Every structure is written in structure tokens, then in C-alpha cells.
Structure 1
Amino acid sequence: MSTHISIEDAALMLEVSPQHARSLCRKQVLKAERIGSTWVVDAESVKHYQQEAEQHIAKDHPAYFDATGDTDKPIALSFFSGAMGLDLGIEAAGFDIRLACEFDKYCRQTILLNRPNTALLGDINEYSAAQILEAAQLDTNNVDLMVGGPPCQAFSTAGKRKAFNDDRGNAFLKFINLAIEIKPRFLVIENVRGLLSCPMDHRPHNQRGPGFPDLSLDEMKGGALNFVLCLLKKAGYSCTFNLYNSANFGTPQTRERVIIVCSRDGSAAPFLQPTHSEEGAHGLPKWKTFRDAVAGLESHTHLHFPEKRLKYYRHLRAGQNWRALPIAMQQEALGKSFFSGGGKTGFLRRLSWGKPSPTLVTHPAMPATDLAHPEEDRPLSIEEYKRIQEFPDSWQLAGPLVQQYKQVGNAVPASLGYAVGKLVKDLLENKATAPPDGFKFSRYRETSHFEWSQAFERQQQVPQPSLSLF
């Protein structure tokens, strides 16, 4: 006799949201019966689906494509693909994303759900260049673009910044070495702002200054990036980069990322072409807002704030944070954090309707990085997260809700991906153009390769030897 379980229990077993479990029932993927306004699900059907999914996700697979289809598209290989936000933009610019390489279990499931014909590989450290090309069904010299955002925690200013002395940093170097062997016409590296300043080897501050040796190149601010640039320069690639605010490319979010564009022929690529500006400078439209992003959304799946935080949110309006509370309530709300340094702008933060969202985080209900709806007493929903990062509403996300937030929060906005893809495609077609003179890409200084190189050299007491790391 078959045992039936609730939709909530089925969702827990499959590690998906109840909404996704209901979708599986409606599509008859799961055996289920609707009773009134809810579903009861056949438990054996859930176990069978779970076993099939686990077997499928555990296996890498090559690209599946119709050889009679469109073969004129330039070919791209994606690494550290995540939920494919960057890839969606590059795909929209006209590329065939032939391969995705991703280690995270839930991201792999998401890729399979949405792009089942794309070759899927796992841990980048497990594969040779030959194996990658075989999975993508490509010969040598047929790759137009390799793109990837290596794990950023090794370079983030919020972490310990171990650079390449970290397993995640080693994955970065593996990516660079694979690119040098595969020799794509263009290589694009995406990362956090911390990459610009992270040393390759960190020397404790109490071992610097008078009485200690001068810092080596590896120990200097920016030493990790310098090492990567030297590797690529030695292989014949030119590298241009800048720190880009995604709002300047049509994203309703002020997310900043370093984009490095490397060209096999040694010619310098121009900066990305902006489509928007904060106040409409250069004749461009103004930045998109949170209101623009979420227009028309009706369904919301979200986490919840604890009551001890909600009592403060009820005093805040759109665009406000803890600083808008009475001083006594500020101290009560923040506790010991009230007396710590820093701006603390992430505490009790409601978004503004008329501005872009701040940078999405991997969990919208953590005390120091709250992302609350402008008016409703809740964190942003996963549907709002998808809109802000510019995933299609139909894009399926695998895993429990907290993992869905993590996937979307770690993604690159699709509009920024499109700007990258369009630039590379224009370079392939010899029609790339420079952005408007004097365009301000981010709020920080010394973020372009011109300024960064000058600042790196200023750190040294003697001129930097050419390729001195080799």
C-alpha cells in the first residue's frame, strides 16, 4: 500500500522549495493527488525521483547539440559557472555556451534543469585541457572565449585574503593554466574588487617596517593580480581591466566587479560600453531602480526575520536603516555592534523604491547584511533576487531556499555579462568601440589597468623588472 506525504515533507526530502515541489506535481513528474487546495504526494515517487536526480547529478556529461543547427555562433567555455548569470548575458550577446564547469551540488542541478544540452564538468582541478575540449566536442584552436569567475573568498577584503595559499586560490591558477593551454582567442576573468589589492603572500603587519626586509613583489598590495598578469603576458596575452558598477549596464543593482579581458593576439581591448549612468550623463538613461526590477511580481517565496528584528523594522520606511531609529533604540537594536567601527549600513536596511538595489548577498536575513523590502516586513524574496540579478522568471533554481538565495546572490548580473559578451563579439568582428571619454565606471580610484599598474610600481623603491616573477 502506497504511503502519501505532504508537499512540505516532499520538498524537504528533495531539498527544494515547496513551490518547486508543487510544480513537479503539476507536471506529473511526481505522483500526487490534489485534495482541496493542497497536494498529497506518493512517497515512493519522491524516493524514485530523488534517486534518479542523485545519479544524474553525480555524472559529468558531454555537450549534446544538433550538428545541423546554428554553427555560426562563436563558442564559449564557462568555468565556475554557478547559476549561470554571467553565461546568460554572454549567451544573449550571441555566444554558444558549449561547456559549464561547476563543483557546487546545487548549482550543477540548476545547470542541468535549465541547460541540459550544455556539457557539464565538476571540480576544475580534476580535468586536463584535452578532457575539457573532448567534453565540449571541440578541437584545439576552436574556442573563441573562455570565461570564469574563480572563487572570490581568497581575495575578498571581508576574508583572510590568503590569495593562492588557499584551495580556492589554487583553482584560480588552474583556470589560468588551462586557458594558456587551450589558447582561446579571448579570456575573461571576473572577480571581486579585493583582487586589485590582495597580496600573493601576506606578511603580518608586525613584521613590516624598520628592522624588516622590504616587501617582495609577492607581498605587495596587488601581488596576486600581478602574478596572474605576468603569467598571461608571458603566454602572449594582453590584459585590460577595470572595476565596473553593474548599474551602468542596465542592472537594477549597484554591484561592482573586476572584469579582465585578455586577448590572444596581444592587442588591448577597450573598456566595456555602458548603457546607463547614475544621473543620465553622456546622454544615457539613468540607472534602473528596485521598482523597475520588481514591477509585476505577484508571487513571493522568502525567508523570515525574527520578531526581535521585526519590532525595529516597523519603525523604518523605504530607504532607511538603523540610523533612522531613536538613539536609544539604535543601541538596543545593534547591541555591542553599535560601538564598533565601520558604517554598519547593512543593519536593519530597507531598500529604496527609487534606487538600484545594493549588492545582493547570499542570505538576505543575516543581522549585518539585511536586505528588507521597502515596505513589507520581510527580507527580499527569491523572486525579487532573480529580478535584481536579471535571471528570467522561468529560470529554475535547485535546492532548498537558502541555497537558492546563495546561488543567485553569488551570480554576475546578466546585463554585465551581456556587456562582456558584446565587447568580445565585437572584437571578434573587428568592430569594437571605446566608451564615452571620462565615463566613471565605479566610485573607487586606481581600478583600471592603467592606474593600477602605476600604483603597483609606486610601491617599489626600484623600477619593477619585466616579468620578474619568472
Structure 2
Amino acid sequence: MSTFLSIKDVSIELSISEQRVRTLCREGALVSEKVGKSWIVNVSSLKFYKEKIELSKVKDHECNLKVTANKPIALSFFSGAMGLDLGIEKAGFDIRLACEADKYCRQTIALNRPDVALLGDINQYTADDILSAAKISKDTEIDLMVGGPPCQAFSTAGKRKAFQDDRGNVFLKYIDLALELNPKYFIIENVRGLLSCPLDHRPHIERGEGYPDMKEDELKGGALNYILSRLKHSGYSYSFNLYNSANFGTPQSRERVIIICSRDGQKPPYLSPTHSETGEFDLPVWQPIKDKLKGIEHHDHLNFPEKRLKYYRMLKPGQNWRGLPEELQKEAMGKAFYSGGGKTGFLRRLSWDKPAPTLVTHPAMPATDLAHPEEDRPLSVQEYKRIQEFPDDWELAGPLLQQYKQIGNAVPISLGEAVGNLVIKLLKKEDVPEFNGFKYSRYKNTSCTDWESDFSKRKAG
């Protein structure tokens, strides 16, 4: 028997494309050699690789945590790398279940919280399945459910298909499960695009003169309006806002919609900020990244291509492409120089003295560079963890790009803790301080009161 296999044979064996097999050969994941223009793969190496894949699969399992007396119970969905969950834990919740389909995130959860129940694709489970996995009896009250359904369906950077997208459907599944499990409170976390995404998209060429008026579902915000209608009919009250995590102590300006839903029918208050941009409300000012990035001994990071490094070597902390000599700006930007928009993410060095911009899932993409303030490289995974406030010892599974993705998609810990702290106060029926007039984000009409008023005007034409 031959000790080598062809690329085609390996692709069939692994059920992946031939191109992917070649990539694995180049990366050294498969022991191989090139004969002429073709790769051949060592059979023993293929067997080892298959065993490694099998070991990396994390199976669903039940909760093995002991019940903690007097600790409120929380269940987590779309858990990712557990950023929101860690914040909820800090506030005092006992998280008994995580639900996550992504294989690398599942490995991360299993590495760090092996005794928390773990389930996969939310569409595969009933409310009874969830109670069983979390080891919660039907007569036990669930205090909190938290979840950030995949946001691509609502992202302003995507096609914005709302609930016509499969990822939008899991959003509805989450709401259905919440209404069936009937927790005292449940949280919906999502991107800013949720505030403006229509439920049913009408092409722009079919709008205006000669076409019928826009239906309610076709208006900006139609998707959120549909969600809120479901909540109203269920008896849950709600409040929401667009929250900048920098207002809660995160060294990062990152905005997320948080909808707080309450079973008691009382409209929940907004989250309580702990910081403000310039010290408003006598709060500490936003946290810069400078102190957060100290003392990291090892860095795992991507690299910029040499053609970009040429320009980075000319930029100081806090600068972007506009800090280059004028004669080099067009050279550095190419065709993007003539496009619209501020283009502030191109050739961007972070500032030591400000919060970081939103951490993206890939810090070396040309339009969203996240370069170290002084070193000629992107931020490292370890710096990503510090900025998103993950513990240094939080283990991340998967290749480097997957580690960036997990942290880049996470909710900052402090924002999660603010959510948990608010719900704890509500559970204890304690007073929650009001911050009337506080600027939670840089955008208008993002609080539930202002948004609903604005949507009503759009309906009226």
C-alpha cells in the first residue's frame, strides 16, 4: 500500500475541497511534499489529522455545577467566547448553560467553563431540552436569559436581510424559547443596525413616485418593530438603548443595542454608566488603552504586508493615513483616496490616551486597521483580550484568526457586568439611579422612547 495519497483522495477522505487540502499542505497541517506541480500527502499524517479533528469536537453535555445557594440563575445563548457571560458572572449570577454552534467557541467554552452545560445549534432544542441540560426543574424560576443572536443579518455592512436570513431566524427562535421558559428577565444584545433594518426590504428602484407607499414592515426599523410587537403581545415590558461600552469602563468605544425585557410588566430603567467622555455627571472619564496594555510578556499577532509597513513607519500614535506627507497620501490609499467617507480606519494607529475604536474580527484588513500605537504590527490577541477585558488566563481555541474573531465578536466584560448589575438590583427591588440626559451613544433616536416616536413618524409618512 502506498504511503502517500493524492490531493483528490485526501479531499474525498476529509470531505473538503482540493484547494483547502493544498492550504493545509502549505501550512504544514498535513505532512506532504511536492512532486512537480502536485502535492502528495503522507497517509500517517492524514490519520493523525483526522484524529486531531475528532478530538477537537466538543460534544453537548449537561451542567455539572453544584447549586449555589442564593445565587440567581442565568442561561446564555449565542455565547461565543463568553464575554457577556463573564460580565454577568461578575455581577453575581450562576450561569448554568451556554448554547453555541461555532466549533471554536465551543472549544473555548469547554476549556474555561467545563462544568457549564453546553448545547449547540439553538434550533435543535426545546425548552425541556434546555432545562434538562441545565439541571433546572420545571418549578424552579429562571432569573435571567441572555443572548446576542448573530448580528450579520442586521449589520449595516451586510445585505440586511433581517428575518429572511437564517441567522435572523435564530433570533426569532431565541425569543420563542425565552417566552416559553418565562424567565424573570431576558436580554437581547445586537448591533446598531438592528435599529434601522427593515423587516421586508423593498429595492430602492421600486420606491417613490409611481409605487405604493412603504408598508410598516418595509420601513427603516421594521425588524425591531416586529420584535417589540412580539414582546408587547407576550406581556413582557422592555427598554432599550444604544450603549457605548466606554461609558461602563471599557477602554474601547464600542456601541451595542441592549434590550432588557421584564416579565413583571414594569419598564426597566436604562443601564447605569460608570464613566463619561469628559466627566459629565461627575463620573470618571473614559479609560484610555495605555494602562491596559502594560505588562504583556508574549504577543501572538498577524503581520501587515511590507507595502503597508512603509507608511506605518511614518505615523505617530493616534494618526491614520491623513498623517502622511500629502504627496504620499494618494500613493498609500490608491483608489480608496477618491472614495467617499472619512476613511479613518485606513492605516490607523491607535492612540495611547483614548479608548480603542471597536475591535473588529481581523485587525489587519486595509479599511479597518488596528495598529499598535508605536510598534509596526496589528494589535495582538493578548491586547485584544485586555481591551475587551477578558482575563489574561482565558484560553482561546483554534487558529490565530479564529482567536481574533472570537474576541472581536464578544461583548466587553464591563458592559456585560452593567447588564448583570441592573438585573440584580431589579431582582432585589432596589432603587436604580437615574441619569436623565446622559449621552449613552453618539447617535440620535437610539433610546426606546425616542426610537418609537421616530418610527411612529415614519409610519405616518
After TM superposition, the score normalised by the length of structure 2 is 0.89
**1:390-419 CA deviation, whole Å, 9 max, x = no partner?**
000000000000000000000000000000
State the partner residue of 2:313: 314
Amino acid at match of 1:335: G
**1:291-342 CA deviation, whole Å, 9 max, x = no partner?**
0211222221111000000000011000000011122211111111111111
Q: Is contact 2:98-2:117 (8 Å) kept?
A: yes
Q: Is contact 1:84-1:111 (8 Å) kept?
A: yes
Amino acid at match of 1:120: L
Q: Is contact 1:252-1:292 (8 Å) kept?
A: no
- Give me the whole-angstrom Cα distance separating, in 2, the residues matched to 1:334 and 1:409: 25
1:127 counterpart (121, 125, 128)? 125
- Give me the whole-angstrom Cα distance separating, in 2, the residues matched to 1:163 and 1:401: 30
- Give me the whole-angstrom Cα distance separating, in 2, the residues matched to 1:230 and 1:13: 50
Q: Is contact 1:99-1:120 (8 Å) kept?
A: yes
3-state SS in 2 of match to 1:460: helix
State the partner residue of 1:335: 334
Moved more, 431-440 or 331-340: 431-440
State the partner residue of 2:392: 393
Superposed displacement of residue 345, structure 1? 0.7
**1:85-113 CA deviation, whole Å, 9 max, x = no partner?**
00000000000111000010100000000
Q: Is contact 1:251-1:389 (8 Å) kept?
A: yes
State the partner residue of 2:109: 111
3-state SS in 2 of match to 1:146: strand
Superposed displacement of residue 50, structure 1? 2.5
State the partner residue of 2:374: 375
- Give me the whole-angstrom Cα distance separating, in 1, the residues matched to 2:442 and 2:223: 23
- Give me the whole-angstrom Cα distance separating, in 2, the residues matched to 1:221 and 1:292: 41
- Give me the whole-angstrom Cα distance separating, in 1, the residues matched to 2:365 and 2:46: 37
- Give me the whole-angstrom Cα distance separating, in 2, the residues matched to 1:297 and 1:45: 38
Q: Percent identity?
A: 66
- Give me the whole-angstrom Cα distance separating, in 2, the residues matched to 1:445 and 1:236: 28
State the partner residue of 1:83: 81
State the partner residue of 2:94: 96
State the partner residue of 1:66: 66
Superposed displacement of residue 211, structure 1? 1.5
Moved more, 322-331 or 346-355: 322-331
- Give me the whole-angstrom Cα distance separating, in 2, the residues matched to 1:96 and 1:166: 33
Superposed displacement of residue 81, structure 1? 0.3
Task: Specify whether residues 45 and 282 from structure 1 end up closer, same or farther in structure 2 by C-alpha distance, changes over 3 A only.
Answer: farther
**1:175-215 CA deviation, whole Å, 9 max, x = no partner?**
01111111110010000000001000000111111211111
Superposed displacement of residue 46, structure 1? 7.4
1:183-262 matches, within 5 Å, as 183-262=182-261
Q: Any unmatched runs of 5+ in structure 2? A: 1-24, 31-44
Are residue 357 (structure 1) and residue 359 (structure 2) matched? no
3-state SS in 1 of match to 2:227: helix
State the partner residue of 1:303: 302
Q: Is contact 2:74-2:144 (8 Å) kept?
A: yes
Q: Is contact 2:149-2:190 (8 Å) kept?
A: yes
Aligned residues: 423
- Give me the whole-angstrom Cα distance separating, in 2, the residues matched to 1:351 and 1:151: 28
3-state SS in 1 of match to 2:459: coil
State the partner residue of 1:408: 407
State the partner residue of 1:53: 55
- Give me the whole-angstrom Cα distance separating, in 1, the residues matched to 2:53 and 2:308: 40
Q: Is contact 2:56-2:107 (8 Å) kept?
A: no
State the partner residue of 1:176: 175
Superposed displacement of residue 45, structure 1? 12
- Give me the whole-angstrom Cα distance separating, in 2, the residues matched to 1:367 and 1:139: 51
Moved more, 293-302 or 118-127: 293-302
Moved more, 257-266 or 205-214: 205-214
Amino acid at match of 2:62: P
Q: Is contact 1:251-1:388 (8 Å) kept?
A: yes
State the partner residue of 1:24: none
- Give me the whole-angstrom Cα distance separating, in 2, the residues matched to 1:66 and 1:445: 45
**1:161-182 CA deviation, whole Å, 9 max, x = no partner?**
0000101000101101111111
Superposed displacement of residue 13, structure 1? 4.5
Superposed displacement of residue 233, structure 1? 1.0
Task: Specify whether residues 397 and 291 from structure 1 end up closer, same or farther in structure 2 by C-alpha distance, changes over 3 A only.
Answer: same
State the partner residue of 2:325: 326
Task: Specify whether residues 51 and 214 from structure 1 end up closer, same or farther in structure 2 by C-alpha distance, changes over 3 A only.
Answer: closer
- Give me the whole-angstrom Cα distance separating, in 2, the residues matched to 1:428 and 1:302: 42
3-state SS in 1 of match to 2:269: coil
State the partner residue of 2:155: 156
